[in-house]
Amino acid sequence: MDLLAPSHLIIILLILLVIFGPSKLGDVGGALGKAIRDFKKAMNDPDEPAKPGAKPDDTKPPESAKPDKVS
């Protein structure tokens, strides 16, 4: 017996429809789809900033933060 057979998925969707209602179910589905798209985009473009206007982190410390060399 398959864990997620089509009949099981239909029953789960009907239960979710009763609990949340049609309008909330659409909102939840849209939010889930957006989250998946953002996650895939972040996985494909690791060098892109996460938010618009955000700058990537620099791993190098600024020149002024380096300790002075003692001779």
pLDDT digits (tens, 9 = 90+) for 13-35: 899 889 888 888 888 888 989 99
Q: How many domains does the chain have?
A: 1
Where in the sequence is the domain holding 2, given as residue range(s)? 1-45
Q: Answer whether residue 59 is part of any domain.
A: no
Q: Answer whether residue 66 is part of any domain.
A: no
Q: Answer whether residue 15 is part of any domain.
A: yes
CA distance 48 to 55: 9
| Angular region, 61: left φ>0, alpha ψ -120 to 50, beta rest | beta
pLDDT band at 45 (very low <50, low <70, confident <90, very high): confident
CATH of the domain at 26: 1.20.5
Q: Answer whether residue 71 is part of any domain.
A: no
Q: Answer whether residue 9 is part of any domain.
A: yes
